[in-house]
């Protein structure tokens, strides 16, 4: 399982645990592209039109972290939600796009959006399979920038070196992003006691009448 497959697996499990959230998917390489708009439909998010669309090699190479944060913030800006959160998952250094990650984090902060950042992978050179064949990737991080993004946008920075670590991180974010929801429940009940009362009254009258009539014939 490569990094992308591991990230999709854990993301799918995270989506399944968020019952009442609208979740969107925005993938990015040299530029961001929308894999799924904000939706409550888990089937859509997990299916071929959501996570299934996220593949290596669909857009030009690069890592446009700033552009990705800005695009995600724009999608969340007009939503009337109590909590707006971006989970930024990246395995590289920002080297594309016109907007710096720090400026994008400040924009998210201004819009009331929290950003959690996750660096995925281990340092070194790797061969990954893409639609265009095997491709060599060099693993590198700018941890200080990712930490600064999280600090500016009131989030947390995480580092995941394997699938188990990534699962733990998503579990932590899941616990951190709980929002209290107040619900008003109305219970409509149908009373049945009058039927039992009528039955009891009937048996009582039958007993009184019997005591004065046919039951008096028997000792």
Band (186; pLDDT cuts 50, 70, 90): low
77 pLDDT above the threshold of 60? yes
- Split at pLDDT 50, 70, 90, the class of 141 is confident
Q: Per-domain residue ranges for the chain?
A: 3-176
Q: Between these two residues, 191 and 164, which has the higher pLDDT value?
A: 164
Q: Which homologous superfamily is 3-176 in?
A: von Willebrand factor, type A domain (3.40.50.410)
Please report the pLDDT score of residue 12 as a whole number: 81
Please state, in angstroms and rounded to a whole number, the distance separating the CA atoms of residues 139 and 123.
5
Alpha helices in 17-110 (DSSP H): 42-46, 65-77, 101-110
Average pLDDT for residues 139-159, to the nearest whole number? 89
Helices (H), the chain: 3-16, 42-46, 65-77, 101-110, 143-152, 163-176, 193-212
């Amino acid at each position: 399982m490569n990094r992308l497959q591991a990230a999709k697996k854990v993301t799918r499990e995270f989506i399944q645990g968020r019952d009442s959230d609208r979740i969107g998917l925005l993938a990015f390489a040299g530029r961001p592209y929308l894999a799924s708009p904000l939706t409550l439909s888990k089937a859509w998010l997990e299916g071929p039109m959501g996570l299934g669309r996220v593949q290596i090699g669909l857009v030009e190479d690069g890592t446009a972290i700033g552009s990705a944060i800005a695009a995600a913030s724009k999608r969340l800006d007009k939503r009337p939600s109590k909590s707006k959160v971006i989970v930024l998952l990246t395995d590289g250094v920002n080297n594309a796009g016109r907007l710096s990650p720090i400026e994008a984090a400040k924009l998210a902060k201004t819009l009331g959006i929290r950003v959690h950042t996750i660096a995925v992978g281990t340092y070194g050179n790797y061969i990954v399979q893409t639609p265009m064949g095997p491709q060599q990737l060099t693993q590198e991080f700018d941890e200080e920038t990712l930490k600064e993004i999280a600090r500016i946008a009131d989030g947390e920075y995480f580092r995941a070196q394997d699938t188990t670590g990534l699962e733990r991180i998503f579990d932590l974010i899941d616990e951190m992003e709980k929002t209290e929801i107040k619900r008003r429940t109305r219970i409509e009940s149908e009373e049945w006691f009058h039927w039992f009362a009528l039955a009891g009254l009937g048996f009582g009258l039958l007993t009184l009448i019997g005591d004065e009539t046919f039951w008096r014939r028997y000792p």
